[in-house]
Structure formats: C-alpha cells, structure tokens
A and B are shown apart, each in its own frame.
Chain A
Amino acid sequence: SQQGEEDPQALSIQEGENATMNCSYKTSINNLQWYRQNSGRGLVHLILIRSNEREKHSGRLRVTLDTSKKSSSLLITASRAADTASYFCATVYQSYNTDKLIFGTGTRLQVFP
C-alpha cells in the first residue's frame, strides 16, 4: 500500500498550546497537501506544499517538508477549541490526466477549552 502514516493517531491539548502532527509517506511526490475533517463532515483543504519547498505558512499553520526523509509536519500554533478535528496529509501522484490523492491515516486532535 502507498498509504502514508500519521503520528500521533490522537492528540489532546489545551487551548493556547501548539499541536504538531507528523506524516510519513513512501513514494516520490510532486506535492503534499493537508486537509482537516470535522466529525462526520467532508474534508477541507488547508495547505499545499510543493516538493521543492521546505516550509510554508498560512495563518496559524506551519507545514514543513523533508523529501529526503519522506516526511512532513503540520504545526498549529495557539490552538483553539474550534481546531478540534481529524487532520490528514495527502500525497499527490499524477494519473495520466489528473492528480490523485493518497491520504495518510490521520491524526485526531482534541483541543480542550
């Protein structure tokens, strides 16, 4: 299976703390994306990092990518209760006419008020 793995599987923190999630993948990539999924809902795209980028920021989100180690991390700073959700990394590989996503196993984040 090409599926990536995420670590930790579950994370519980207090509001205001930072949350770090790690993702490892198996194949060469063009880019890697992070998605959030609230309980029982669809996924929402958070950030995309290309294979030639090492770090990217978006608001309270910071993503790093280490292609030599085939790993990525997502940092959420100053967490809020509303950040409670599952977070998935997704590696992108190209089919002949489009891109396909392979999702990691996900990290369930619980932020307590």
Chain B
Amino acid sequence: DAMVIQNPRYQVTQFGKPVTLSCSQTLNHNVMYWYQQKSSQAPKLLFHYYDKDFNNEADTPDNFQSRRPNTSFCFLDIRSPGLGDAAMYLCATSKGSGAHEQYFGPGTRLTVT
C-alpha cells in the first residue's frame, strides 16, 4: 500500500519556467517535509509543515515555495528554476514531535534544460 506518493516521478522543465511537484500521504500524519537531494549528496531540508503551520529553513532560497491545502497533500513550487535546482526532491511525513521516524516518498527527479 502506497503511503507517501509523489507525482510525477520525473519532471523536465525549462530554465525559468515555473514547476510544481506534488506529494500526497495516506498516513494522516501531522507533519510533511520537503527535501532537496543533489547527486551523491545527503538530503537537505527545505521546509516543513506542522498541520498548516509553515516552517522555512533559513537557507532555503525564495525561489522555493510550498502549499499544503489539506492534511493529505503538499506541493513544492519552484518559481523560476535554474540549472542548479536540478535534483531529486523528496517528500516525507511524520507523526510530529518526539522520537518518530520519517516516511519518504519515492522522490521526483527534476531536470532543468
């Protein structure tokens, strides 16, 4: 049973053309996270939502935005993708504060041409 679903799995966009990546979850978890992972690097947290409460990491570029219209869905918007934004984008969920594991989706690989 799929728990954290990301669509699309592969996305190609043009330099400067806005793109939206989507994530949905069937776990009813309070928290949803977006990570960026570049080739052969560790995942890097961009931001997260606790319910509707948005938390941005200090070093996340303004070019990256997020929306969470309801518990199940969360979107990552890249307003003007640059070549340096090509990466795997991972969505994850967790129950919330405390010693909880995170559940990851399969990721969306973004290519910028």
Binding site for B on A (CB under 8 A): 3, 30-31, 33, 35, 40-45, 48, 50, 88, 92, 94-95, 97-106
A99 near B97 with CB under 8 A, answer yes
List the B residue with the shortest CB-CB distance to A49: B99
Number of A-B contacts (CB under 8 A): 69
User: B residues near A, CB below 8 A?
Assistant: 4, 6, 30-31, 40-45, 48, 50, 53, 55, 88, 90, 92, 94, 96-107, 109
Write the nearest CB–CB distance from A77 to chain B, whole angstroms: 22
- Tell whether, in the assembled complex, residue A3 and residue B42 are in contact, meaning their CB atoms are under 8 Å apart: yes
Shortest CB-to-CB span from A48 to chain B, Å, is 6
- Extra 12 A-B pairs, beta carbons < 8 Å, given A3-B42, A43-B102, A98-B55: A33-B101, A40-B107, A50-B99, A97-B50, A98-B30, A98-B48, A98-B50, A98-B96, A98-B97, A101-B102, A106-B40, A106-B41
Contact A103 B97 (CB under 8 A): no
Contact B50 A103 (CB under 8 A): no
Among B55, B102, B107, contact of A41 (Cβ-Cβ < 8 Å): B107
User: How far, in Å, is B43 (CB) from chain A's closest CB?
Assistant: 5
In the complex, which of the residues A33, A43, A97, A98 contacts B43, with contact meaning CB atoms closer than 8 Å?
Answer: A43
- Inter-chain CA distance A31–B100, complex, in Å, is 9
Chain A residues near B103 (CB-CB < 8 A): 45
Q: A98-B48, A98-B50 are in contact. Are A42 and B109 (CB under 8 A)?
A: no
- Please state if A48 and B101 are interface contacts (CB–CB under 8 Å): yes
| List of B residues within 8 angstroms of A103 by Cβ | 42-44
Sort A-B residue pairs by CB-CB distance and give the 9 closest, nearest first.
Answer: A42-B104, A103-B42, A45-B101, A43-B104, A97-B50, A42-B106, A98-B31, A31-B99, A98-B50
The interface residues of chain B lying within 8 Å CB-to-CB of A44 are 104
Which residues of chain B have C-beta atoms less than 8 A from A100's C-beta? 45, 48
Q: How far is the CB of B101 from chain A (nearest CB, A)?
A: 4
> How many angstroms from the CA of A100 to the CA of B104 in the assembled complex?
14
Q: How far is the CB of B94 from chain A (nearest CB, A)?
A: 7
For B42, the chain A residues whose CB sits under 8 A away are: 3, 88, 103-106
